[in-house]
A and B are shown apart, each in its own frame.
Chain A
Amino acid sequence: MPAVLLRVNGTTHELDLEPQVSLLDALREHLGLTGTKKGCDQGACGACTVLADGVRVNACLALAVQYEGREITTIEGVASPLQAAFVAHDGFQCGYCTSGQICSAIGMLAEHGDDVPSAVTEHLAAGGVELTDAEIRERMSGNLCRCGAYNGIVAAIKEVAGADAAARVPAEAAR
């Protein structure tokens, strides 16, 4: 089995992994980092969202070997005001989608900070897209919440995005 060097939450791990092991299973089953969840294993729910160099990815659709040399951040490595905001706004019930929602929100805020447009952005050229509820909802739609905590999640993201621009910097979360 090939040895894979995975850098997760600032620590480098050497793992013997079959090439078909997904990044998600490497995290959960090999590193014991079970904060990242599996909801579908098919890229359809977003529960497995982690950050790779600050960019959100579905870890179930990623092979671990592809991520050698990348800086992976999982919920265990996140320290973001989003977490307290999720609690305050009750942005979850069962908590199973929550790690993915928070990692996704961090990645989403970074994309928004980089002026990446979404499907509901009206003026692509404008730059500085206003982060409206509709923008947040569209950009977070890859993260399902069957408990239906969507209103709380949007409120939490909005609060953090509005209150503290620094929360948009993914490097901060990864530190």
Chain B
Amino acid sequence: MTGPRDATNQNQLMTQMESPPRPQSAAGPVVGKPIDRVDGQAKTSGQARFAAEYPYPGLAYAALVHSTVARGRVTGFDVAEAAAVPGVLTILTHENAPSMKPPPRATLTNGGMIVTGTTVNYLNTDEVHWNGQPVAVVVAETLEAAREAAGLVRVAYRESQATVDFATEEEHAVPLKGNPLQRGTARKGDAEAAFRVAPVSVDLRFTTPPLNHNAIEPHATTAVWDGDRLTVHEGTQGIAWLRAHLAARFGVPEASVRVISPFVGGAFGGKGPVWAGTLLTVLAARATGRPVRMMLTREGVYRTVGGRSPSIQRVALGAAADGRLTALIHTGVTGTGRVGGLPEAVTSPSGHLYAAPNILLRHSLVELDLLPNTFMRAPGEAPGTFALEAAMDELADKLGMDPITLRMRNEPETNPIDGKRFSHRLLREAYAYGAQRFGWADRTPEPGSMRDGRWLVGMGVATAHHGTMRFTANVTVRLSADGSVLVRCGLQEMGMGAATAQAQIAADALGVPFEAVRVEYGDSTLPTGPGAGASAQTVSVAASLLAACDKLRRKVRALGEGGSLAEILARAGRDHVEAAVGSQTRLGTLAGQAKFIAKFLRDHRRWVKAGCGAQFCEVRVDPDTGEIRVSRWLGVFDVGKVINAKTAASQLRGGIVMGIGMALSEETLVDPRTGRIMNPSLAEYHVPVHADIPPIDIHYLDEPDPTMPLGLLGLGEIGVTGVAAAIANAVHHATGKRVHDLPITLDKLL
């Protein structure tokens, strides 16, 4: 082990702006170094162009009309006033919209359908399935006209009974049927019986609210039809998925759809599925024969883009007096839409974290007449670690044990639920290092025992955990005789520094300076990239990129010997040599995917692969008002090898910031009578602001995973896990109060 890396101190100071590429890497390998982002200059000068920022002659603007009822049928429209707004081109409804195909069923090899946000075939149906579903689209010459007219469209409905209140539907929850990747129910031993006789136990109920991603870039689409050829500018997490989906829905071959997405203004899961805004912009462009742009209003994002499901969770822990767990029960109820959505796997962490001989995990679902939920950063594990890790803290309290000691006493050798081997796990090291760095020994265990002036001070810990995934990725690498390298892959850049990381990998693999590598990405005309989800993009591309570089080296070495690869090329009189990994034909893609999935499942049966970490936090609570301030944070992570010390630390930090919001302020409020989201704005849904965020100290153990390409485990999501529990535990330490219902707002402390 190379010892923890201090990411905070690795920022190099750049005092002068230069245009990229800038010389940063002296000689030697660059993987692991804190290299500045290759797109830094573009993003700090306003030159990075996002989906709504491509000019087209004759561009028209679209705006959505949202249903105001949760369920029923549209019985008629009054569009007279709207149509009279100067500049309105058309008002599309189910009465006049061109047809669109319903989404085909998802299969494992059919990524385009995995990203079906909902099964609703917008404007091809009079049915309404949630409050806020788009029922009409106005297209106009100007943004102002479209927006004004959308507000003037009157819609009549025949309402039917809708089920919209998650809290009261708990009793109707249905146990989830599992699949190889997500269990519904899992058990080991007899947890209920062991729990009943446990000498020390806690039995707790937790709730977490619905959450929204709130990427600062609202979903935006610019769509242009040229005959049967479609060009779409869109901020998406899955260029290839989106292309396949649009081709299927609009009945054109995939080859005639081009998706351009070089910059994505934040996504966090919300730009993975294909939502109404995208489909209806493409539909509006087809109906009008004009290039059409639609940027959703912030309210429109809430009404048409699914978020994180709420959850109700029970965690019951039984332990011997020495702290060894004898029973771990974690059951959860989450919600989904009747027209789409997925089970938020809240019980998942409890299969992996503690060596209990008896474990019961059960996940149940309620179907609601609401906008379908979707992936949001660390699906399942973000709310799941809240319940489990807050319960562990409470158990430690009851046992009179230090919460870290309790965790270490139950640290498993193999995956607790099924006995599979861990490919890698350094949680002990993370806690040991973190405790020392954070000054955990200074904590006096008694709640309310630490003060700073009038502030009550609390310290809390929790474990972070996130499973590892991989997708297929096609990549080409070209080396030119001048020594420059071009990497091409249709990957997505949403802020993780994807191109920078891949350039570092290619530079080391081919022995060229970092500055010599350019990465082309963000376009469906490039070799098909993986989706940017499940923290899997970097490792997926890296695997193919390394293979391609290998091939390339062999090709070049076949031309001659001696000197650098570029020198061999030059001597051989070759301008460039290229190597590709992955097939671009339909058949080849299918075969490749089938092989990949078979290998993935084989691997999955053998190993459990996951990143983990220790979250340490300190809060200050005002004893009179209950105001909670997070005053210090340390995250120590075991995420395998890290490619870029700077961007990796930022991603981990960003996850922690999102977790602080989840813990203290974020909540999407759904009206239990009407199913309408009541706070669809950034003024009423409170994401953390500058003033809420203390310095966040990030460390990682930098130990490569032996089973993954380059040793990468993925780190896009793990940062958010464990955060809410660490805060809840710190709040308890400060005040003696346990809050089991997120967010922990000040009223709950009074």
Partner of B693 from A43, A85, A146, A150 at Cβ < 8 Å? A150
The answer on a CB contact under 8 Å between B46 and A144 is: no
Query: Can you spell out 28 A-B residue pairs with CB atoms less than 8 angstroms apart?
Result: A28-B53, A33-B46, A34-B52, A38-B218, A39-B217, A40-B298, A40-B681, A45-B216, A78-B45, A81-B17, A84-B17, A84-B44, A85-B15, A88-B12, A94-B217, A95-B48, A96-B266, A136-B690, A137-B693, A138-B691, A141-B689, A148-B650, A148-B653, A148-B655, A149-B650, A149-B654, A151-B696, A152-B650
Does B78 sit at the interface, judged by CB under 8 A?
A: no
Q: In the complex, A79→B687 CA distance in Å?
A: 30
Q: In the complex, A40→B53 CA distance in Å?
A: 16
Interface centre among A36, A42, A95, A138 (most CB of B within 10 A): A95
Stretch in contact with the other chain, from A51-59, A123-131, A153-161: A153-161
The answer on a CB contact under 8 Å between A153 and B690 is: yes
Q: In the complex, A92→B493 CA distance in Å?
A: 13
Query: Chain A residues with Cβ under 8 A from B298's Cβ?
Result: 39-42, 44
Does B49 sit at the interface, judged by CB under 8 A?
A: yes
Q: In the complex, A137→B40 CA distance in Å?
A: 22
The answer on a CB contact under 8 Å between B266 and A146 is: yes
Query: Chain B residues with Cβ under 8 A from A83's Cβ?
Result: 17, 41, 44-45
Q: Which 10 A-B pairs have the closest CB atoms?
A: A35-B46, A148-B657, A93-B495, A95-B43, A96-B265, A94-B495, A148-B654, A87-B40, A75-B46, A88-B14
Q: In the complex, A133→B694 CA distance in Å?
A: 9
Query: Chain A residues with Cβ under 8 A from B12's Cβ?
Result: 88
The answer on a CB contact under 8 Å between B265 and A40 is: no
Q: In the complex, A20→B649 CA distance in Å?
A: 43
Partner of B495 from A18, A47, A92 at Cβ < 8 Å? A92
Q: In the complex, A36→B216 CA distance in Å?
A: 13
Partner of A87 from B37, B148, B649 at Cβ < 8 Å? B37
Please provide the chain A residues from 72 to 111 with a CB less than 8 Å away from any CB of chain B in the complex: 74-76, 78, 81, 83-90, 92-99, 102
The answer on a CB contact under 8 Å between A34 and B53 is: yes
Does A25 sit at the interface, judged by CB under 8 A?
A: yes
The answer on a CB contact under 8 Å between B695 and A87 is: no
Q: In the complex, A25→B148 CA distance in Å?
A: 15
Q: In the complex, A106→B499 CA distance in Å?
A: 29
Query: Chain A residues with Cβ under 8 A from B55's Cβ?
Result: 32
Query: Chain B residues with Cβ under 8 A from A36's Cβ?
Result: 46
The answer on a CB contact under 8 Å between B688 and A148 is: yes
B221 to chain A, nearest CB (A): 14
Q: A88-B12, A96-B217 are in contact. Are A29 and B143 (CB under 8 A)?
A: yes
The tally of residues in B whose CB lies under 8 Å from a CB in A reads: 70
Q: A90-B646, A146-B214 are in contact. Are A140 and B17 (CB under 8 A)?
A: no
Query: Chain B residues with Cβ under 8 A from A18's Cβ?
Result: 142, 144
Query: Chain A residues with Cβ under 8 A from B218's Cβ?
Result: 38-40
Query: Chain A residues with Cβ under 8 A from B39's Cβ?
Result: 95
Interfacial residues, chain A to chain B (CB-CB below 8 A) = 18, 20-21, 25, 28-29, 32-45, 47, 74-76, 78, 81, 83-90, 92-99, 102, 133-134, 136-138, 140-155, 159, 163
The answer on a CB contact under 8 Å between B215 and A146 is: yes
The answer on a CB contact under 8 Å between A95 and B263 is: yes
Q: In the complex, A119→B653 CA distance in Å?
A: 26
Query: Chain A residues with Cβ under 8 A from B657's Cβ?
Result: 148, 150
A14 to chain B, nearest CB (A): 18
Query: Chain A residues with Cβ under 8 A from B295's Cβ?
Result: 38
The answer on a CB contact under 8 Å between B689 and A87 is: no
Does B647 sit at the interface, judged by CB under 8 A?
A: yes
Partner of B650 from A28, A45, A90 at Cβ < 8 Å? A90
Q: In the complex, A36→B649 CA distance in Å?
A: 27
Nearest B residue to A143, CB-CB? B690
